[in-house]
Amino acid sequence: MAANRPVDSPPSALSVEPYGIDTIPDEARTATPRDLFRIIFGASNSIATMVLGSLPIIFGLGVVDGALAIVVGVMVGSLLLAPMALFGPVNGTNNPISSGAHFGVVGRVLGSLLGLLTAVTFTALAVWASGDAMVAAAHRLFGLPDSGVAAAAAYAIVGLVVLLVVVFGFRLMLLVNRIAVIGVTAMMLVGIFAFAGDFDATYAGIFTAEADAATTALYWPTLVGTALIAMSNPISYGPFLGDWSRYIPARTPRRRLLGAVLCSQIATLLPFGFGLATTAIVAAKAPEFADPANPSFVGGLVAVAPGWYLAPLIIISLIGGLSVATGTLYGTGLDFSSILPRFSRIQATLIIGTGTVGLLFMGRFVFDLLAGLSTLASLIVVCTSPWIVIMVLGYITRRGWYLPEDLQVFNRKTTGGIYWFSSGLNWRALGAWAVAAGLGLSVVNIPGQFVGPLGDRFGGFDASLPVSIGVAAIVYLACLTLAPEPAEVYGPQGSNLVKPALRRRSPVGD
């Protein structure tokens, strides 16, 4: 872990970031809520989000119903995600470290593990989608071979550039996402002209007036399921917002932080909408690429795109893939170095990044596990959602008051502090998370991929996200009420919604 050192002015994008997970000093906090917007939107402005936007059409919805599902899912997920940006400016560190205030300074490893799984999975998916899009577009545009060798080369190029960006750190990542916000958005706006002549806003999917009773019965489960998929996109960024917002001054008004997150997610309706609209065209002109049993958004997009738009598709694929992968991989390398302090941020990033690219190659060329990665991504979101709910409720009950120094106990191999609880674990939050995540996983219903033991209890609906979110809120607040936390954790203004314990906390736990 690099020692914190003061800076006189914001470092350049090509200077290697000197900070690990220790609290960022005030003089180094030169980022703004606008920068936070750029990073979050840039990380979502990609082929990966377009793939999510394609799913309503692939699952049989029409354009109007698909748009409704996407808008509802994104907005609900955004409201849950937005408060996760508040921890970074307050504590000057990432969200897994901040979670120690609620899960215990040792129990915060749970957040680190969730972040690691999320980063590896979503980074691999981003590199995969970007590489395949680049190869398919280059094949049609330049006649280059569309082969496994070409795909491997594309994955290697994207993966190498991702590693370079995250090694340099926050400033270069911010630059990449600035480019992604402008460049990818511009290319998608150009795409409106490329596809306008073929787009049919009245496309109704399989749920038409002539549909049989069995098909009609699937309408509501499909609509709700696609809304939950859209909702999972903002939720997946929960563990990472602190990685980026920790460079924002603590005095920044909370409304600006919340506004930056909400606006960034509203902006993601552009790539979602692009995926929805183009897949409706694919379903009409090249339905073999929209087959629910084996969908290929990238293949369909390249097949129906006019020739002059293939070069912009390559730009979208490369820049968009970089923004997604760097956003998730950066934070995990940062946090991994705190769990195993013998590794610096750079070393931890290289280890995880190389392993992630290796996983992608194994899944693509050896074990055919890429479909499994998509399922794993859904399961990870189910487990991450209750962690986010507990963090947000914890922030509310603590009135946003924390002691940053006491959050660093585990990283410095010491004990004590107000967040030590019982041997560094706070069973209230950990227990609530375990119950919520367990029940959420039990009702997962992803036909053909993963169905939990209770997955058929909701009439075909995948109720995993609502169940995990609702149970987490109820059980955590019940734990805080029935077994109040020590008064010291609530600070000078006292608690909110719940009452603290009457007795004083012991020096090493409660």
Treating both helix axes as pointing N-terminal to C-terminal, what angle do 63-81 and 370-397 enclose, rounded to 10 degrees? 50
Residues in the chain: 510
- On whether the CB atoms of residues 93 and 250 are closer than 8 A, the answer is no
Model pLDDT, residue 4 = 43
Q: At a CB cut-off of 8 Å and minimum separation 6, what does 149 contact?
A: none
| CA distance between the termini of the chain | 31
Q: Which CA distances in Å does 480 have to 3, 92, 93, 268, 500?
A: 37, 26, 25, 36, 8
Pair of tokens at residue 334: 């940062």
Measured between alpha carbons, how far is 191 from 183 in angstroms, rounded to an integer? 12
Beta strands in 184-283 (DSSP E): none
Pair of tokens at residue 389: 């709910």
Domain layout of the chain by residue ranges: 31-490
- Which uninterrupted H or E stretch holds 115? helix 109-142
Torsion angles phi and psi, residue 445, rounded to 5: -140, 90
Token pair 């629910």 is found at 292
Pair of tokens at residue 255: 């409304």
Pair of tokens at residue 51: 């793939």
Q: At a CB cut-off of 8 Å and minimum separation 6, what does 436 contact?
A: 385, 386, 389, 467, 468, 469, 471, 472, 475
Model pLDDT, residue 284 = 92
Pair of tokens at residue 9: 């002015």
Number of Cβ atoms within 10 Å of the Cβ of 418: 21
- On whether the CB atoms of residues 492 and 400 are closer than 8 A, the answer is no
CATH no. for 31-490: 1.10.4160.10
pTM higher than 0.75? yes
Distance of CA 96 to the CA centre of its chain: 14
Model pLDDT, residue 504 = 55
Token pair 């950066």 is found at 330
Measured between alpha carbons, how far is 54 from 295 in angstroms, rounded to an integer? 9
Model pLDDT, residue 2 = 40
Long-range contacts of 146-151 (CB under 8 A, 24+ apart): 148/365, 151/364
Q: What is the DSSP string of 141-186?
A: HH----SHHHHHHHHHHHHHHHHHHHHH-HHHHHHHHHHHHHHHHH
Q: pLDDT in tens for each of the 510 residues of the chain?
A: 444 444 445 565 556 666 667 788 888 898 999 999 998 998 888 888 998 999 999 999 999 999 999 999 999 999 999 999 999 999 999 999 999 999 999 999 999 889 888 888 888 888 888 888 889 888 888 888 888 899 899 888 888 888 888 887 777 888 888 888 888 899 999 999 999 999 999 999 999 888 889 889 889 989 988 999 899 899 989 988 998 899 999 999 999 999 999 999 999 999 999 999 999 999 999 999 888 877 888 889 999 999 999 998 888 888 888 888 887 777 777 677 666 667 777 787 788 888 888 877 877 777 666 566 667 888 889 999 999 999 999 999 999 999 999 998 888 788 999 999 999 999 999 999 999 999 999 999 887 678 899 988 888 788 999 999 999 999 999 999 999 999 999 989 999 999 998 755 554 555
Measured between alpha carbons, how far is 69 from 51 in angstroms, rounded to an integer? 15
Exposed, middle or buried: residue 465 (CB in 10 Å: 0-12, 13-18, 19+)?
Answer: buried
Measured between alpha carbons, how far is 277 from 292 in angstroms, rounded to an integer? 17
Buried b (16+ CB within 10 A) or exposed e, 112-142: bebbbbbbbbbbbbbbbbbbbbbbbbbbbbe
**CA atoms within 13 Å, Cβ hemisphere of 387:** 26
